[in-house]
Structure 1
Amino acid sequence: MKISVKAPAKINLALDVLHKRDDGFHEVEMIMTTVDLADRVDLIELNEDSIAVEVSEGFVPNDERNLAYQAADVLKKRFQIKKGVSIYISKKIPVAAGLAGGSSDAAATLRGLNLLWNLELSDHELAEIGAEIGSDVSFCVYGGTALATGRGEIIKQIESPPPCWVVLAKPPIGVSTAEVYRKLNIDKAKESGVQPMLQAINEQNFDDICEHLSNDLESVTFKLHPEVKRIKEQMKRFGAEGVLMSGSGPTVFGLVKKESRVHRVYNGLRGFCGDVYAVRLISQGHPC
């Protein structure tokens, strides 16, 4: 039996870093939403007790370092599954881009194996398991739009923003999330970026959503990698209404209301950035 599961990318509309926790993680408040740029995860049950991972991109690990492998391993051990699984990941989401590609692959694996192995787990139960694998996996189990708190694993689903286009641009660099957090100077007096974003989404006000895009990690990544800041400036210049770096970067996204303007932004960025995508917001969560 074979099951194919879509694993969409996410962007951060708002990201507040509150403080460093005793466990070494940072306490955050984030609003995340999924976009229609997705990997595909194919799962085939094996009679032998093993996990095999194959990835379309050769530089992505196919062993226990892979989050999809870890997802399968956690389920096998927790529910004493004696059968194995072959996992094939067709990558479309850029790697190490701030778009949660690996986390989404893990979440898709959890959702798919829940069906393949007839575990009958709820999304909430899958999300709790996902939190053991990575902070973004819980959100990726649900999809749609959500407020994420804790270290990012406590998920409250909210209404999605009004439909719009999203242009994504990733420069050919990698960003260390750990280094960005390590160099972040947390300002306890700063205003929340999450609260005005929640209000803008609640009111379905596209202009206010663009106005209140915020990311506490952006300034750190800009200092480490000035080319990310240049992409943001170019995206604004080409006409995107709201522009922000996603996660710890280096991908920058632009929100665009009209399709006619999307082509201008997309084509302008293609001139100096290899990985550019024009996609839509996904308004709903996953069907399974």
Structure 2
Amino acid sequence: MDSLKVKAYGKINIGLDVMAKREDGYHEVRMVMQTVRIHDNIKVDKASSGDISITTNLGFIPTDKKNLVYKAAKLLMDEFAINCGVSIDLQKHIPVSAGMGGGSSDAAAILYAMNKLFKLGLSKKELMERGALIGADVPFCLMKGTALAEGIGENVTRIAPMPECCILIAKPGFSVSTKHVYEKLRLNEIQSHPDIDGIIDAIEEEDIYEMSSLMGNVLESVTVKEHPVIEDIKMAMIDNGALNSIMSGSGPSVFGIFDEPEEAEFAMNAIREMKLAKQIFLTEPHNVE
């Protein structure tokens, strides 16, 4: 096999809580994470040059060692002394710097593809261990589905699959730095923390209504304050039929949960007419066996 095509799926955070700030500057979190069907398309080819080359459909995406895709390929090439290079074509569809884990998912897809292409024989657990060296979300992006993420996000435990529903995702026309949001977070000022265990129980009971009512994201205390349009999008989704709506990750993407496709489409059109978002998607949970 000299070539492989893979899909890198985006994610949302059904619940995101921050427990404490560690001495190393990272934060202890508890998050319920869910893969969605929005995905990037990646093609990986073996190359005789011995180098890592990246092409992409978006001109502002770095194609050098700054890209997590490059770091993922380099990690395995160095560890396994792979002399053959790789040519990577990355077609981005997941919004960039949007709280949807696009870069982490791309890195996860490259680890998976390199393992297959070069027959490295690594298990998913072994790939996840290496993924944690690249980014905290990479292990979840390798696991996919529905999971509880703890530690700095790298400790993931599969939970029952999220009930089927419609998920409307809207991203305003700006990006947000995850590093900036965590630096600005003041844990002592957070008034309310999401019930992560309650969310997990509701998912296990296949109760989309209870799950939606418990959704929450403490990072909104930073991002919404700096970008009030995020709250406008949340309210627009709820006013137009969403069971609930919160920000994903550090933002600025907002998602709403709908139990009827017609209501989700109505809300999507309403947000477009209000011109609150630059990118808007109607999708579903991507659950895996």
**TM-score using structure 2 length:** 0.96
Q: Does 1:278 align with 2:279?
A: no
1:42 Cα deviation from its structure 2 partner: 0.5
Q: Is the 8 A contact 2:238 2:244 kept in 1?
A: yes
C-alpha distance after superposition, 1:160-199 (max 9, x if no partner):
1110111000000111212211121114895552111111
Segment of structure 1 superposing worse, 181-190 or 158-167? 181-190
In structure 2, C-alpha distance between the alignment counterparts of 1:41 and 1:27, rounded to whole Å: 32
- Pair 1:202-2:167 in alignment: no
The 8 Å contact of residues 15 and 193 in structure 1, kept in 2 or not, is answered as no
Structure 1 partner of 2:111? 110
Q: Which amino acid aligns with 1:264?
A: F
Q: Is the 1:18–1:29 Cα contact (8 Å) retained in structure 2?
A: yes
Could you tell me which residue of structure 1 aligns to residue 239 of structure 2?
Answer: 237
| 2:278 alignment partner AA | G
SS in 1 for 2:126: helix
| Secondary structure of the corresponding residue to residue 39 of structure 1 | strand
- 179, 193, 196: which one aligns with 2:195: 193
- Give me the whole-angstrom Cα distance separating, in 1, the residues matched to 2:22 and 2:195: 20
How far is 1:222 from its partner?
Answer: 0.6
Which SS does the other structure have where 2:72 is aligned?
helix
Aligned twin of 2:224: 222
CA distance in 1, matches of 2:101, 2:113: 18
Distance in 2, matches of 1:189 and 1:6, equals 39
CA distance in 2, matches of 1:152, 1:240: 27
Preserved CA contact (<8 Å) 2:17 2:193: no
**Helix, strand or coil: the match of 2:173?**
coil
Task: Report the equivalent of 1:160.
Answer: 161
- Distance in 1 between the 2:175 and 2:262 partners? 31
18-27 vs 183-192, which moves further: 183-192
Residue 232 of structure 2 aligns to which amino acid in structure 1?
Answer: R
Aligned counterparts of 2:75 and 2:197: Cα–Cα separation in 1: 35
Residue aligned with 1:204, SS: coil
The separation in 2 between residues aligned to 1:151 and 1:225, in whole angstroms, is 25
Stretch of structure 1 that moved more, 268-277 or 69-78: 268-277
Q: After the TM superposition, which of the residue ranges 132-141 and 183-192 deviates more from structure 2? A: 183-192
Q: 1:192 to 1:241 in 2, by over 3 A?
A: closer
Q: Distance in 1 between matches of 2:214 and 2:137?
A: 22
Q: Paired residues, what number?
A: 285
Change (3 A) 1:219 1:139: same
Question: Percent sequence identity over matched residues?
Answer: 41
- Is the contact made by 1:72 and 1:110 (CA closer than 8 Å) also made in structure 2? yes
User: SS of 2:211's equivalent?
Assistant: helix
| Compared CA separation, residues 165 and 195, structure 1 to 2 (3 A) | same
Counterpart amino acid of residue 123 in structure 2: S
Deviation digits for residues 222-257 of structure 1 (CA, Å, limit 9, x no counterpart): 101111111111111111112110000000001111
In structure 1, distance between residues paired with 2:76 and 2:271: 42
| Residue in 2 that maps onto 1:82 | 83
Moved more, 235-244 or 29-38: 235-244
Distance (whole Å) between structure 2 residues aligned to residue 81 and residue 193 of structure 1:
46
1:176 aligns with 2:177: yes
Provide, for residues 9-61 of structure 1, a one-character-per-residue CA deviation record: whole Å limited to 9, x for no partner. 00000111001112211010111000010001110011221100111111110
Q: What CA distance in whole angstroms lies between the structure 2 residues aligned with 1:120 and 1:194?
A: 35
CA contact (8 A) 2:48 2:85 kept: yes
Structure 1 equivalent of residue 20 of structure 2: 19
1:255 is matched with which residue?
A: 257
Does the Cα contact within 8 Å between 1:148 and 1:154 map onto a contact in 2? yes
In structure 2, how many angstroms separate the alpha carbons of the residues matched to 1:9 and 1:60?
A: 17
Letter paired with 1:39: D
Please say if residues 16 and 192 of structure 1, whose CA atoms lie closer than 8 Å, have aligned partners that are also in contact. Answer: yes
Alignment of 1:56-95 (within 5 A): 56-95=57-96
Runs of 4+ in 1 over 4 A off after TM superposition: 188-192
| Aligned partner letter, 1:83 | C
